[in-house]
Amino acid sequence: MHKPSQGQFTQSTKTESNVAFVSIETVAANKAARGKRLLHRAGVVARAAWDRLEFCEAVNGCFMRLLVLGLMLLALPVGAASSGVVLLYHHVATDTPASTSISPRDFRSHLEYLRDNEFSVIALDVMVEALRNGEELPDRAVAITFDDGYLSIFETAFPMLQSFGFPFTLFLSTGPIDRRSRNYMSWPQIEEMAAAGVMVANHMVEHPHMLERAEGESETIWIERLREELLRAERAILERTGQSHRYLAYPYGEYNPAIKDMLRELDFIGFAQNSGVIGPSSDFLALPRYPLAGNFADLESASLKFATLPFNVRILEPESPVTNAPNPAVTLKFSPAQTGAYDLARLGCFANSQPLALTWIDREAGIVRLKPETTFSARRWRYICTAPNIGSRRFHWYSIQWINPEMPE
C-alpha cells in the first residue's frame, strides 16, 4: 500500500471529470489528511513541521530527529508571514539542455543554503491552502517543484531531497511516462516517490502549447480538447499514485483568460513560470514560480529570490498575457494599504535587465503604466518590478508575463 503524500488529497464529485476512482491508497490518504487537519488547528507552522517529519520518516528514517524538531516548533514562538516562494526545476544534470537544467552541485548548494539560512521548506499544498484561507505561514516559506518527469529527478534530485528531509512536488506530463520515453521516469519510479511522500500533480498529457488551436478549430472545441486532456492526466495520476490535487502547471507557462476560466470551472489551481512571490492577493489561477536553470541557477542569484516578498498588486490592463505587440504596455495598481512595507518611490521595473520608464497615472493610488522602448521578438518574455523592503535587506518582486504565440518556440 502506498503511503500518503504530504498534501491533502481531494476527490471531485463532478461527474464530468470522471475522477472518482476510489482505491485503498486514496482512502488511506484521506484519513491521513484528516489527521493533518487536526494538527493544522495548532497552526500552519506546526503543519509544516509535520510534513517535513512525515517525508523524512518515509525516506530515510530520521523520525526521532525531526520529531524533536517538530516539538520545538510547537513550543517556541516562530516568525510568521503571509507569503511563500515556489521554486521551479526541470533537469538536475549536466548533459541536458542548459535552459532547463541545473547541475547536481548547484542544486545541492541551493538545498544547503535553504537549510542553513532559516528557510522553512514546506509542502506546496500547505503553502497554497494557507494563503487561500488567509492563514499565516512560517517566515521564509519555500516550496520546491519539478516539471515534466525527467529521469534525473528520480536518480539525482530525489535522493538529495530525501537526505535534507525536504518535501517537494512533481508536475507530471503523463504521455511520455506511458510511452516510456527516453530520459523520463517510469511509473514504478513515480509510484515509489509518491509512496515516500512526494506530491504528484498535473502537467497535462502531452505537454502541449495550450494556446495553439488546430486549423479550423473553434474556441469551444479547443477548450473542450484541453479539458479532456487535463482530466485524462488527472485520472492517470490518481490511478497510479492515489493522488488528485487539482493543481496544473501550465506547460511552457502559457495560458490566457479562456484557459484560466476552464481551470476555475474545474476547481483547479494554476501555476505559471513567471517569477514572483505568492501572497493572499495573488491570482490562484496563475501563481508565479521562480525558474532556476541555466544562467538563473547560480546561488548568488537564487538566494536573493529565495527571500523575496510579494507586492499587493494587480494588472488593470491588459487582461491577457497574450500579445502580438513587440513592446506591449501594462497598467499596474499597487495597493496603498500595503505600501508601508515598501517605498514606491524606490520601485524599479526592468525588461531584459534594462530599466523601464514608469509613468505614474495616480501615484497616491499606486497606479503606474509601463511601456518599454525596446522591442521583443521571443515567444515569451517578462517585465520585472522590484522594491527594497523597509526594515530588512529583502526585496519585493513581481513579474508580468507576455506570450506571443505567433513566434516559434
For residue 57, what is the domain's CATH number?
A: 3.20.20.370
Let me know whether 219 and 319 are in one domain: no
Residues in Cβ contact with 68 at an 8 Å cutoff, skipping those fewer than 6 apart = none
Residues 357 and 261 reside in one and the same domain? no
Q: Provide the pLDDT confidence category of residue 326 given band limits of 50, 70 and 90.
A: very high
Asked if pLDDT for residue 19 goes beyond 70, the answer is no
Q: Are 53 and 156 in contact (CB under 8 A)?
A: no
* Chosen domain end from 255, 290, 309: 309
Average pLDDT, the chain: 85
Residue 9 lies in a domain: no
All 3 cell numbers of residue 282? Answer: 495573488
End residue of a domain, out of 275, 293, 309: 309
Q: Cell digits for 211?
A: 494556446
The residue with cell 508571514 is: 81
282 domain-assigned:
yes
Question: Is residue 2 assigned to a domain?
Answer: no
Confidence of residue 57 (pLDDT cuts 50, 70, 90): very low
Does 63 lie in the same domain as 50?
Answer: yes
In a shared domain, residues 166 and 283: yes
Q: Does one domain contain both 305 and 324?
A: no
Within a domain: 350: yes
Does one domain contain both 277 and 387? no
Tell me: pLDDT of 287 over 80. yes
Give residue 337's pLDDT. 59
Q: Which residue has the higher pLDDT, 13 or 166?
A: 166
How many domains does the structure of the chain reveal?
A: 2
CA 275/CA 397 separation, integer angstroms: 8
Q: What pLDDT is attached to residue 338?
A: 61
Query: What would the pLDDT profile of 88-117 be if each residue is shown by its tens digit?
Result: 999 999 999 999 999 999 999 999 999 999
10 Å CB burial of residue 317 (0-12, 13-18, 19+) is: exposed
| pLDDT of 89 | 98
Per-residue pLDDT of 181-224, as tens digits, reads 999 999 999 999 999 999 999 999 999 999 999 999 999 999 99
CA distances from 394 to 119, 140, 345, 355, 404 (A): 13, 11, 16, 20, 32
Crossing angle of helices 257-265 and 219-241, in 10° steps, is: 50
Query: Are 234 and 179 in a shared domain?
Result: yes
Task: List the domain range (segments joined by +) for residue 64.
Answer: 15-309
Neighbouring CB atoms inside 10 A of 227's CB total 17
Q: Do residues 97 and 87 lie in contact, with contact meaning Cβ atoms separated by under 8 Å?
A: no
